[in-house]
Structure formats: C-alpha cells, structure tokens
Structure 1
Amino acid sequence: MNSQLTNNISQTDFNLKKAIIRYLKHWKWFAFSAIVFLVLAYFHLRYTEPVYSAQAKIMLVDEKSSGAPGKELLRDLQSFSEVENKKTEDEIEVLKSRKLMENVVKELSLNKQFHFEGRFHNSQLFKNIPININFIASDSIVNEADFKFTIEFLSEESFNINFKEDEIPTKAFFGKSIDTPIGDMILTPNFKEFNNVKDKVLSVRLRPVFKVAESYREKVTITQIKEFSKVINLSLKDTNKDKAISILNTLISEYNRNSIEDRNERSKNAADFINERISLIASDLSQVDDKIERFKTANKLTNITSEVDLYLNSSAQVDQELAETKTQLNQISYMKNVIGSKSMEYDYIPSDIGMSNPSITNITNKYNDLLRERNNLLKGSTTEKNPIIVNLDQQLSSLKSSLNKSLNNLSKSTEVRMRSLQNRYSELNSKVYAVPGQVRKSRDIEREQGTKESILLYLLEKREEAAISLTSTSPGVKIIDEAYSSGLPVSPNKKMAFIAALLVGLCIPFGVIYASDVLDTKIHNKEDLQKVFKNMTVLGEIPRLTNSDKLLIEKNDRSILSESFRIIRTNADYIRKGRKVENYNNVIFVTSTINGEGKSFFSMNMALTMANTGKKVLVIGADVRNPQIFPAIKKALNTKEIKNGLTEFLVDDAINVKDVVNTHLINDIKVDVLLSGKVPPNPAELLMGDRVKELFDNVSQEYDYVIVDTAPSMLVTDTILISQYAGHTIYLTRANYTEKEILNFAKELHDDKKLNGMMLVVNDVKQSNFGYGAKYGYYGTPPKKRWFSFGKS
C-alpha cells in the first residue's frame, strides 16, 4: 500500500506555473535574504584590500642562435652531445624553481614586509618605505629570521617600537642600535616630511626567505602561449601592483643571468678540455712522425707506389711470355700426336696452328704437297703398289720422321724456356706480395698522422671560438613585453561580488524551500488529497485561523471560515442526495485518522452552518474517550449544569434521549447538543450495546441533520463499531499535520467499505495553499491589501 501511494504521488505531472507560484509565496524571504547578502557583499568590498594583476611575455632563444659556441663545440665533439632544442616545458619548470625565486626575494628584500595599519585592513608598502633597516647580523641569519614589530612615529628623530602586542612600546631613536631577536638593528628615516607618517603605525614583518619564495612561487603563473610555441606568459596577482611588476621583471632578469652564467661555465669547461686535449694530441703527433721515419729507414723505401708499379708491370710481361710458351708446347704436343697416330697416317698435317719455327713449317708444307700428289695418283690408279705411289710413300715417311725429330728438339727447348719464365714470375710475385704489407703499415701510420693533425687543427680553432664565447654570450630569453599592469584591481570584482551575493541570497531561501518540499511528508491542501485518493470526493478546505479569528461561525457570517463551511455543506448535500441511502441518510459521522485533526471543531461549525439555514440539527459527542465538544462550546453553553450525556444514556436504560439532549443558542444560532458524558472504563463494549441503535433510530427521525463527532479511526475501534448507523462519513485531515503515509489507512477503510459514504475535508489550510478557486478569495469578502501585484483588474 505504501508503494502504491508513492507511485500515485510520483506519477503526477509537473506544473511549472504551480512550482513558480510556490516560491513566489515566500517572496519576502527571498527579498530579505538577497538584501542581507548584498549588504554583506558591500562591507566585504568596502574593507577588502584590492588585488592587482601584472603580466609579462618572453620568448625562449635557442642556444644555437644566441651565440653559445661552447655548447656547439660540445655538440660537435659528440662526447657531450645534448638535445638540440630545449623543451619549453623544461624551461617553465626552471622559471618556477625555488632557487630562482629565492634570488628574486633576496634581490627585492621581499622577506621584509611593511604595512600601514588601518581600522579594517592594512595597506601594503613596497616603494617609498618610510624607514631603512640595517642588521648587524649576517645575511644568512637575517634571511632565516621570523618576527615582527610595530613602529609609531613620534618625531623626526624618535619613535615607539613594540615587538609584542601585550607589552608597552619602547621609545627609540633613529640611528641608534635596537635589540632584536636576531641581534642589533639600526633604523634610519626615509621620509621627506614627517606629516606623511605622523599618527600612523607601521607594521614590519620579517619572514624566512624560503617561505616567502615558496609563497610567490605558487602565486606566479607561467604558461605556454600555445602548444609547440616558445613564447611564455608570466602573470602574478598581488595587493601591490608595483611589487608584482618588480617580481616578474626580476624573475626574468635572474633567469637570464643564470642562463648566461651556465653558458659561460660550459664555455670555460670546454676551453679547459680543449687545452688538455691539444697537449695530448701534439705529443701523440710527434710520436707518429718518429714512427714514420723509422719505418722508411728500416725498409729502404723512398716511394713505395712507383716501385710497386714497376714490379707489377714486369710480372705482367713475364706472365704473358709464360702463357705463350705454354701455348707453343700444346701445339707441339698436338702435332706429335697427329704424326704418331696410325689412323691418321695419310692425313694432312695442320700447318697454320701458329708455330713460330720455320723449319717445321717448311717440312709440314712439303709433307702436305707430297700427300696431295699421292692422293691425285690414287684417283687414276687401281692399286697402291704403283711404283710412283710407293716412292711417294717412302718420301712421306722420311719427312714425317724428320718432322718428329724437329718437334722433339723444339719441345725440349720450349720446356727449358718455360721453367725459366716460371722462376722469374715467382720472384717478381714475391716482391709484389711483400709490398702491400709495407704499404698497409705505411698507410696506417700516415692515417694516424693525418687524423691527429686534423684533430689538432680543429681543437685549435674551437679554442679560439670558446675564448670568444666567454665575452659574447647573449641572454636565454627575449623579452617581448616587460611586466605591466592595467592598474585596475582584478579582485575583488565588484560586479561579480554583487551578482554572487544576489545569487547566494536567492539560492538560500530557494534551497530551504526545496529541501522542505523534498523532506515534506504531510498534506497541505485539497490537491494533495486528490493526488492520493482518485475515487473519493474531497468536499473542501477549511482555512487556518489566527488568534484574532473566531473559532465558531456566527449568524449571517461572511467570513472565510463561514464560506468554506457553506461550500462543504453544499457539496455534502449534493453527494448525499446522489447516494440514495435508505437508513440514516441524515446521520453524518465526522472522524479522522489520528487525534488533533479538528473533528470537534469541524462538527460544531458544520452543525452551526446547517442550523443557520433553519434546519433542526443535533450534534452528538461520540468520542467518549477524549471528549472535545464541551471545551469547544464551553463559553456558549447555557449556565445550567449538564449532568447527563451519551455515556449515561448508554449505561442507564431509565434515561431517555430527551434527558441527554440540550438546546443551546450559540452565536445566535439554535442547535441541539448531546455531550459525551463521563469517560467510561469500557467504551468499546458500551458502544456495542443495543441502546446505540435506539439512540440513532430516535434522532434520525427527530432531526433534519445529525452530526456525530467520533473517535480517531486508526487509534481506537469505537468509530468502526458504530459505523453502521452512519449514512455518510466525513473523513477529516489537517494540513501540515496529517502524514501522507497514514492516509493509507483511510484508503483501506474506503476500499474495505468499513465506513459508509466516505468524503474528505482538509482542515487548517493556509489561504495561500488553497486549491483551485479558493486561493483567489471568497466572493464578497473585503480583498486583502497586497504589497505588490502582477496585474490590474
């Protein structure tokens, strides 16, 4: 049931207009909160020391283009090679370094802070400081000191000084030693006119240098203008614009000074390194020259190249002769094979194979001529035994034998010559093979000599460059814009401060109202009930009354209370006529969930409203456990004592209805009342008796309307026990009192039909929360004067 109620409420459509009106109802709180925060913003701006901003713009310069031969030298030497272009991010970190900022603090004496004390805030001084401070102690002690004192100027020669607030100031004089926590101090005046410092209190604070440096290191903002750019923006916010400008300019100067010192140090180290290397290289070069001299003397060499060429030419000539000799031997061998072969006995002997011996050539030609003649004769003869042919065969044999002897002699002489050429070729080759080793040794020595000579010349050149760089090093950054300030404070921003104060002033009531709505678990008006109960009639709303309002309506009453009950009466009559209840149609029970929701108040005013129309009305106080009818009408009751009530009637059968019903004139309206009587010990059992039916049978016939004020339905069972005698039931809820969660009980009563003809009423509703037309006021009532309106009628 709880989840169903939550779903019913969450499924309602959001109404923007209603939400806006919800907050506009509390416009006074919004206005009050906004005014309070605007006033606070005014005083904050009035007594807050303004903050100024200073900016500067620089560009990093490459060391290659800034004239740093020392680094170029080290880059060329490769042993000390570095990244060619330094990263901008790295240089930003250098600018942010603590060491650099400490140098700035020392340079500008920022560890000494001066203020003129004011009523609400102190005025910081940077230039035109009225005194000069000189300490006897060393700078290292002063830079770590942490103490303060105040000075009140008495005259041009004297002043009061105080190191502790709770102590009496001590009179001192300019130029005289003053004892301090770090030793003696001497103050000298630095003002032109005494009237400029008269009646002013100067506060002086000494802080450790590292703390001041850390503070400003966090305040300085250093950013790259864009990615991959070497242009850097520097900015600083401070209560003194001159100080901010000086800090940025000094920071840039310190960076340049450090970069120049660093480059000079590298150049000096490079020069020292070069001088050392020149001494070593000169010594090595002298040793190499001695080695070349000893090598040439030992090998008897003057010009190795020309001698090698001679050996190579001779070797090539011998090799060619040797090849020709081998060819001749092969020719001789071939001819011997041809002559000695039986299968080639009468074949021609080749004569054009390149033989250089004339005798062999003649014999060969003669042999071939005789062989040609023999072959011609054989063509005309039938036999080889022809005497001419036989004679030719003998001559051929003789020539072949002579040729073979000549070939053998030529072969032997050729072999002797070939062996001689081979020996000559081996001798020349041995000399040629010996030369490369000598050449290699000579070239190694010459190469070493050339290398050391080139290194020596290079180092001599770079030594001159390094010497020049010591006097020509340029800064590491180029200043694009020196530090400057617009002179207008960046904080506090008056416009934004007032806007923020206004927004905060409006947001706080908004947040409180929104939180109260989110955490709110109670109903507030008719619309809240209708969101929960979809199939149950809500008769109307009863307005909240002030202490000056009357609790009971009067005759011819035109108040809002009276009009709200008239609306409820009209709606109830309409519902009653439509239901067509056979029994007890004129009996109306008034109940609620818990105590305190206004049942008795509603019952009496409902009865007075109905009686005001001339109807005969009876009010029964059926809440016998906690009677409230009597306190509600106590002032309007007759003076005669009322002895009996409902309890006495139910207990004593001898008492009639007329004995317990009394007629009263309340605010000139005649109405009958049956009070609850004494509180019985057994109220539930008493209400279950037969006398209850007798009572309702009698009064339903006797009266036009019977209004029954019953007990809370959830707390006790009394109302359920007598619900059968009710033709209709008005279920009362109270705004800002009844929890939405306990309305589940009312839904159960309605769904289970435990109460007849249930109708809902919301009591104690603020007029600003009235649902529908009721929030616009009641027709004919004097309109309330409003402080503002959104339109005219």
Structure 2
Amino acid sequence: SLNIKDIFFKYIRFLPLYIICVALALLSAYIYLRYSTEFYRSMGQLVIKDDKNSGGLQDDRVAQLMQADRSTNIQTEIEFLQSRPLMERAVDELGLNFNYFSTGKIKELNIYKRSPLRIEASELKDSAQSFTMNLAFLDQNKFKVNGAGPYLVGQDFQLPVGKFRIIRVNEGEIWSEIKIVYNPTSAQAGMLLGGLVVVPKQGTGILTLSMESTNPSLSADVINALMKEYQKVTIEDKNLSTKKSLDFINANLRDREIELDSITQKLVSYRQAHNIIDPAIQANNYFTRIEEAHKSAQVQRLQLNNALQIQDYLRGNSQSTVPSSLGIDDPTLNTLISGYNKAQLERKELLENAQPGHLIVQQKSEEIDLLRNKILENVNNIKSSYNRALGTLQQSGSEAVSQIRTLPTKQQDLLDIQNQLEGKLKIYNQLLSKREEQAITLASTISNTKVMQEAIPDSTPVRPNRRSTQILAFFIGLLIPTIIIAILELMNDKINSRHDIERFTDATILGDVGHSFGEKTLVVTSGNRRVIAEQFRILRSNLQYILTKAPQPVIMVTSSFSGEGKSFVSTNMGAVMALANKKTIVLEFDIRKPKIALGLGMAKHAGLTNFILGKVEVSQLPVKVEGFDNLFILPCGPIPPNPGELLLDTKLDDLFVYLKQNFDVVIMDTAPVGMVGDALTLSKYADCTLYIVRQGHTYKKQIGLVDDYYREGKLPKVSIVLNDVKVQAGYGKYGYGGNYGYGYGSGYFEDEPAHQTGFQKWFGWLGMKNGQVEKTKSKKV
C-alpha cells in the first residue's frame, strides 16, 4: 500500500499546477480584499433593572417562577429593541434618511460623518419613495446632479422628486463624485435592523447590542441612539397610566367647577330673593339632628356618585385603565381595579409585538372582560348598599322635619342649598388633592434601564477577514488541483506503476523497461551503458531465478493486446542473451503482425510459414543479426490466411527439437494472448512466459487476465515485465530498476539524449502522457 512518502511523490509532479492554482487563488483573495465592501462592528451594553421587589424569603419554587418570569421579560425587551418602530425613532433622531457615498471606479465608500457637505430637502413630493442623486463636482463649488446642472453649493435646485439644496458643513475637500441615497424612515430602519444583534448575558439583566455597517461611526451612533430611544419609550409607557388619570381628574374638576358655580349662584339668588341672612336660633336642636342626617346622606351620595362615575367610565372606556376608586373604601373594589389596570397595561405591551388576533392577546382580552364584569358587579353591590343607607338617613331626616314643620319653608330650602354646596366642595377638594399626587408621580418617573457602556467606533473591519480570506484562498488553491488530480486518477483505468499491478495479481514482476527515446528498436548493444540497456541486463539476471532447471530455455513473450512492446522486449532480450555468449534465436511467431525483422531493418527471408508448408529446410530458417555473433532471428515468412491452424502443425515439434540442439536460448515473440489463442497453443514449448504490460497503455482490468493465467497455470511460469516506464515521480514506489531506481548523471550510466525542454519538464502533465510528449517516430516499444 502507498505510504505518505509515496503519496507525496505521486502529487509532487503536479507542483506547477499547484503553484499556479495557489497563485491564482491568492490573487483572487487580494482582489476580493482590495475591492470588497468592508463592514465594521460596534457594541454597547444596556442594563435592564427589575422593578419588582423581591420582598422576604422565597422558597425554591417561587424563585424558579421569578427567574422564568425574568427570562420572559428579558426576551420581550430583546424583541422590542429589535423592533422596527424603535429603530425608526433612532433613524429620525439621527437624520439617517440621506446616505452619503464616495464613488470610486470599482466600489463605494460610506462617508457618514466624513462628508464635507449635507443635503437639505425644501420639498419632497413622495417621502415614501427611495431615490438616488449622483453628484459630479466640476470644482469645489460647482456640481451636476444626475447629469443636470451645473448648480452652485448653497443654491436651490429642482428635481422630479423634490426641491433640494447642497450646503457645506466643513472646509474639507469635496470628492469628485458623491452619491446621495434617500430612503424612507421605514426602509432605512429595515436595512439597519439587518445588521443589529441583541444578545443577553446569561443569568443577568445585561443586553449586548452590536451592529455591523459599512461605516464605524454609523454603527456606534445607531447603537447609542437606539439605547437612548429605548429609555425614552420605557418612561413614556410608565407615564401613560398617570397621564390618563390626570386627564380623568381634570375633566371631573371642570364639571365640579360648573356645578359649584351653579349652586353658589343659586344660593346668592335665594338669599337675595327671600332676604334670608341667618337661620332661626330657636330650632337649633332640630336643625342639628336634621343637619347630621343630611351630612350622612351627603357622604353616601358622594360615594354613590363615585360609584356611578366608575360604572360609566368602565362602560364607555373598555380599552383604558381605571384611574382610581375615587375614595370608595372597599378593599374588593380596589383589588379588582388594580388587577384590571395591570391587565390593560400587559395587553398593550403584547400588542406592540403581536397582532390583535394572537392567542395570547385574545386570552388577555378575555381576562380584562372578566375583571371589568366583576368590577361592575361589585359597583352594583356598593350602590345598593349606599341606597339602603340613604333610605335610612332620609327616613331619619323626615322624622326630624316632621318635628319642625312650623319652621319657615325658606329656611329649609336655604339649608338644602348649603348642603349641596358643601358636598360639591368636598368632592372638588378631593380631586385637587388627587391631581397633585398624580403630577408628582409623573415628574418622578425614571426608566428601568441604564446604559452600561456606550458604543464607540471601531475602525478595524470584521468583514472581510483578511487573514481568514488569505488562508481560505491558499487551501482552495491546494484543494482545486487535488480534486482535479483525484478525479483524473479515479478516471484513469491504465496501469501506471508496479503498485497497480500488485493490486490485481500475485504474479512475479520480473523488472521494468524504461522508455526508449532513440530511433532504433535494438537498444542493447555491446558497450552500451545507458539505463534501458542495463534494465535488460537486470531482466537477464532475474530470469536465472526462474529458469533454474532449464539449461536451454525457451522463453515465450506475449501480452494482452497489440502495442504493448512484445517485439521490442523480445528483440532486446535476445540481444542481451547473445551478449552473455549464449547462442540465441528470436522466433517471429506473431505471424499475424510480425515486427521483429522490420524493427531490425532486415530484408525479407523465408520463414516459419515456408517451413511448415515444406518449402524450406529447418536449417535454412535462422538469420544472423548483423553486429552480433550469437544473435539470430527466425522470420515469420509470408502471412498466412489461417495462422491459428498453421501453429497446430506437427512440424513445430521438429522445429523446436532442432532449435534446442543448435541454440542456447530460444525466445518466442507470440501474438497477444488477450486477443488470439496462439500463445496458448505455443505454451507447451515454453519454459517460462514474459507477460508484457505497458505503462499508461495496458488497462487495469486486463491484469485480471494475467492473474487467471498465473493461478490456473495456462501459461508456464508467468512473469510480468513493466514496459515503457518513464523516469517520473508519482507512480508508486518504483522507478527504473525496482526499489532503488536509476538516476541520470550518477556516473554509472551513459547520459540519455536530451528529449525534453524546460517547459515540457514543468508542464509535461498538461495533456502529455506520463510527463512525456508522445512521438511515435522517436519511440520504440
């Protein structure tokens, strides 16, 4: 299996691709960082104080309920801080409807608080419609708007959307192009809310508000304005009930003043008309009794009147709180009114964040209706009680009146008027006292929130993150070529290394044969010390361990299909055997496509087919190879129409008897066993089989065929020769010559002729097989 070192060398040959992809990725990251819009973050902290007093000791269950209620309240405050109405108040407070941008060639910069000018709208035709104005400054005082103009700074100009004026706010230099974007308050608030985040601090009432925008000062100002507006809103909510009470009291005071004026005028008119100055002293005792009865009745009437006012107010104002019980001393009524007011305030808070049809709002409304009905029922009971008391007092007064029937009627009428006046004065004074109390409450209201930390501008952008972007780009630059290479490797179904062969078969790999860059087929010659010649010498040495019991071996050379280098290997194996002083003959038995004689540049001779047909004698078949004392070939002869049947002829037995008597080594170059059965027919004459596998040419699935022949013994002593191996890192752990490999320039071998340019060495993997340009004319396999 491949180890880390193998994987490294497998991918290092693609180093140029990695360098290019990483460089392009880093360049893309630089361009992105250079021209992307930067975002800045500002943060502030707000403390929500609990208005409820904890009181005395609480058990664990009560504490848990209080904690749950506090969490609900905190969540409600978070939703309110993130609500559009509150953000709209902040937008109005800061005047953020107009946004200013400095326009560059590629991107725009938000110049909030840095703009040397400001726009004033004298007239807006549609304040709910957004629009953009592009200002092109001709100089520091003259500009064009959307191509129209020129206009002067401070001069009014008319546009289809309204009438405007540009004024300078400082003496700074004005950019050549400025874009002004108007957004309605609602739209601007919505855009700002997109960058707002409110996070509670666990277990506390502290809220952290953060905002991201394209300008650090804008983020800080919006956060601070939002916290201030939130404080104002909480105070306004608390004062709402008090203001309602004041309005109720003031309305009643105006009514009482009218009644007092009427009774006073009636009293003055009665005295003037009847000349009454002082009551009769002699009826003091009776009058005292009557007066007490009248006073008690007046108190009861006052209470009854207050009850009637509460009843009328509840029936006419179903959505408002009840200011107070108006002095009615009834604990049940006071408790019901307090619960009713609390439910009304809770319903109002729910309506700020939910629709009227929401289930919780409907439940709260039902609770309010139930409390109102209970208050009305209690008021009816109080009225009945007051009416009974008034009946009793009237009865007592009637008894006293019957005792003073002799008193003048005028005196009695005067007393009634005075009693009415006193009753109205008492009510009036009570209302004045209540109004002072409510005014003090209104003036002393404070917010239950406190700004713990104001937001300050932070000029360090949070997006895009330069370091993270560069690291990401670097890894993307590594990932893309890795994915491409992995896909190519997955799609590659050719044999590229010994490792690929070893995955599919246990057959022996006899050795490697490198790529030949020369023009000639015969590369093994006397005195040749090139790498490929030494590889054939290694194959010769390795064959000794296979042919231990064959003094005159017959070596069969075959492959899966044509083009894998059988003839090349056969020719050079014959040459390397001949150089070892062994009389060697190479049989051109691939009678379908013979290449041995053609590769050696030899003329046509009578061959195997002539012998089988009986036209020549066996002694006439061997042809000596020029330049070698011990190397002969046996040509194919004319290509027959029936090669498969021809090889079944019994004359082959005589031929091999002759060859073994006259030659030390016999090498058969047969047809591909994966295509025809010639090699299987001839295998009975062979002592071993050299199965040729060509790098980058033989399919991996064809190694399964080799394994079948090896395991089933259909071919004798199968050994694999990996042919056409390039000196290229990245294919397993073998180079030329097995585990150790060969290296040019080591002094052991002659240098190969130059065959690659510098460009090909670096970019040879781009559409080039195994890093080497395929040139049919210059390669012999």
Q: Verify the 8 A CA contact 1:554 1:669 in the aligned structure 2.
A: no
Deviation at 1:123, TM superposition (A): 2.3
2:541 to 570, 577, 580: 570
- Alignment correspondent of 1:129: 115
| 1:197 lines up with 2:174 in the alignment | yes
Deviation at 1:25, TM superposition (A): 4.9
Output the CA distance in 2 between the equivalents of 1:679 and 1:282: 132
Deviation at 1:49, TM superposition (A): 4.2
Q: Any idea what the Cα deviations from partners look like across 1:661-711, whole Å, max 9, x if unmatched? A: 433336x78732334444433221222223333333333332222222222
Tell me the secondary structure at the aligned position of residue 104 of structure 1.
helix
Name the aligned partner's letter for residue 565 of structure 2.
Answer: G
| 1:561 lines up with 2:532 in the alignment | yes
The change in CA–CA distance for 1:733 and 1:267 in structure 2 (over 3 A counts) is farther
Output the CA distance in 2 between the equivalents of 1:581 and 1:483: 94
| 1:637 lines up with 2:601 in the alignment | yes
The change in CA–CA distance for 1:637 and 1:551 in structure 2 (over 3 A counts) is closer
Q: Verify the 8 A CA contact 1:555 1:669 in the aligned structure 2.
A: no
Output the CA distance in 1 between the equivalents of 2:216 and 2:675: 75
Name the aligned partner's letter for residue 596 of structure 1.
Answer: G
Query: Within 5 A, what are the aligned runs for 1:8-27?
Result: 15-27=3-15
Larger Rg: 1
Q: Verify the 8 A CA contact 1:58 1:481 in the aligned structure 2.
A: yes
Deviation at 1:558, TM superposition (A): 1.9
- Alignment correspondent of 2:224: 249
Output the CA distance in 2 between the equivalents of 1:301 and 1:161: 92
Output the CA distance in 1 between the equivalents of 2:71 and 2:432: 27
Deviation at 1:230, TM superposition (A): 1.1
- Alignment correspondent of 1:507: 479
Q: Verify the 8 A CA contact 1:713 1:719 in the aligned structure 2.
A: yes
Query: Within 5 A, what are the aligned runs for 1:59-458?
Result: 59-63=47-51, 87-138=73-124, 141-146=126-131, 148-162=132-146, 171-192=150-171, 196-197=173-174, 200-207=176-183, 209-226=185-202, 228-272=203-247, 279-280=309-310, 291-292=388-389, 294-295=391-392
1:592 to 533, 553, 559: 559
Output the CA distance in 1 between the equivalents of 2:137 and 2:112: 19
TM-score calculated relative to the size of structure 2: 0.66
Deviation at 1:645, TM superposition (A): 4.1
2:574 to 600, 604, 607: 607
- Alignment correspondent of 1:345: none
Output the CA distance in 1 between the equivalents of 2:441 and 2:571: 111
Q: Verify the 8 A CA contact 1:144 1:209 in the aligned structure 2.
A: no
Q: Verify the 8 A CA contact 1:38 1:498 in the aligned structure 2.
A: yes
The change in CA–CA distance for 1:83 and 1:614 in structure 2 (over 3 A counts) is closer
The change in CA–CA distance for 1:630 and 1:48 in structure 2 (over 3 A counts) is farther
Q: Any idea what the Cα deviations from partners look like across 1:518-562, whole Å, max 9, x if unmatched? A: 55544332344334333x321111224558998733332222211
- Alignment correspondent of 1:620: 587
Output the CA distance in 1 between the equivalents of 2:625 and 2:138: 92
Output the CA distance in 1 between the equivalents of 2:430 and 2:650: 134
Name the aligned partner's letter for residue 39 of structure 1.
Answer: L
The change in CA–CA distance for 1:85 and 1:619 in structure 2 (over 3 A counts) is closer
Name the aligned partner's letter for residue 444 of structure 2.
Answer: S
Tell me the secondary structure at the aligned position of residue 142 of structure 1.
coil
- Alignment correspondent of 1:781: 749
Tell me the secondary structure at the aligned position of residue 123 of structure 1.
strand
Output the CA distance in 1 between the equivalents of 2:200 and 2:519: 73
The change in CA–CA distance for 1:738 and 1:106 in structure 2 (over 3 A counts) is farther
Tell me the secondary structure at the aligned position of residue 77 of structure 2.
helix
Tell me the secondary structure at the aligned position of residue 473 of structure 1.
coil
- Alignment correspondent of 2:650: 690
Name the aligned partner's letter for residue 52 of structure 1.
Answer: Y
Name the aligned partner's letter for residue 445 of structure 2.
Answer: T
Output the CA distance in 2 between the equivalents of 1:459 and 1:601: 123
Q: Verify the 8 A CA contact 1:111 1:143 in the aligned structure 2.
A: no
Q: Verify the 8 A CA contact 1:57 1:234 in the aligned structure 2.
A: yes
Name the aligned partner's letter for residue 624 of structure 2.
Answer: T
Q: What percent of counterpart residues are identical? A: 28
Q: Verify the 8 A CA contact 2:508 2:720 in the aligned structure 1.
A: yes
Name the aligned partner's letter for residue 213 of structure 1.
Answer: A
| 1:491 lines up with 2:463 in the alignment | yes
Deviation at 1:630, TM superposition (A): 4.8
Output the CA distance in 2 between the equivalents of 1:247 and 1:678: 97
The change in CA–CA distance for 1:269 and 1:544 in structure 2 (over 3 A counts) is farther
- Alignment correspondent of 2:371: none
The change in CA–CA distance for 1:155 and 1:301 in structure 2 (over 3 A counts) is closer
Of the structure 1 ranges 729-738 and 45-54, higher mean CA displacement relative to structure 2 is found in 45-54
Output the CA distance in 2 between the equivalents of 1:715 and 1:37: 49
Output the CA distance in 2 between the equivalents of 1:108 and 1:135: 16
Deviation at 1:716, TM superposition (A): 1.6
Of the structure 1 ranges 693-702 and 720-729, higher mean CA displacement relative to structure 2 is found in 693-702
The change in CA–CA distance for 1:160 and 1:626 in structure 2 (over 3 A counts) is farther
Output the CA distance in 2 between the equivalents of 1:550 and 1:171: 85
Tell me the secondary structure at the aligned position of residue 736 of structure 1.
coil
Tell me the secondary structure at the aligned position of residue 553 of structure 1.
coil
| 1:681 lines up with 2:644 in the alignment | no
Name the aligned partner's letter for residue 126 of structure 1.
Answer: Y
The change in CA–CA distance for 1:547 and 1:604 in structure 2 (over 3 A counts) is closer
Q: Verify the 8 A CA contact 1:540 1:760 in the aligned structure 2.
A: yes
Q: Verify the 8 A CA contact 1:62 1:85 in the aligned structure 2.
A: no
Q: Any idea what the Cα deviations from partners look like across 1:446-466, whole Å, max 9, x if unmatched? A: xxxxxxxxx999999876554
Name the aligned partner's letter for residue 153 of structure 1.
Answer: F
Structure 1: unaligned runs, 5 residues or longer? 1-11, 66-81, 164-168, 303-454, 788-793
Name the aligned partner's letter for residue 601 of structure 2.
Answer: L
Name the aligned partner's letter for residue 613 of structure 1.
Answer: A
- Alignment correspondent of 2:623: 662
Query: Within 5 A, what are the aligned runs for 1:639-654?
Result: 641-650=603-612, 652-654=613-615
Output the CA distance in 1 between the equivalents of 2:6 and 2:129: 66
Query: Within 5 A, what are the aligned runs for 1:20-59?
Result: 20-59=8-47
Q: Verify the 8 A CA contact 1:540 1:568 in the aligned structure 2.
A: yes
Q: Verify the 8 A CA contact 2:505 2:704 in the aligned structure 1.
A: no
The change in CA–CA distance for 1:526 and 1:288 in structure 2 (over 3 A counts) is closer
Output the CA distance in 1 between the equivalents of 2:681 and 2:37: 77
The change in CA–CA distance for 1:299 and 1:238 in structure 2 (over 3 A counts) is closer
Of the structure 1 ranges 504-513 and 604-613, higher mean CA displacement relative to structure 2 is found in 504-513
Name the aligned partner's letter for residue 214 of structure 1.
Answer: G
Number of residue equivalences: 584
Of the structure 1 ranges 110-119 and 754-763, higher mean CA displacement relative to structure 2 is found in 110-119
Output the CA distance in 1 between the equivalents of 2:658 and 2:685: 12
Q: Verify the 8 A CA contact 1:157 1:174 in the aligned structure 2.
A: yes
Output the CA distance in 2 between the equivalents of 1:728 and 1:657: 24
- Alignment correspondent of 1:738: 698
Output the CA distance in 2 between the equivalents of 1:22 and 1:492: 36
Output the CA distance in 1 between the equivalents of 2:441 and 2:434: 10
Output the CA distance in 1 between the equivalents of 2:618 and 2:482: 58
Tell me the secondary structure at the aligned position of residue 208 of structure 2.
strand
Output the CA distance in 2 between the equivalents of 1:233 and 1:128: 27
Deviation at 1:571, TM superposition (A): 0.4
Q: Verify the 8 A CA contact 1:590 1:603 in the aligned structure 2.
A: yes
Output the CA distance in 2 between the equivalents of 1:267 and 1:537: 101
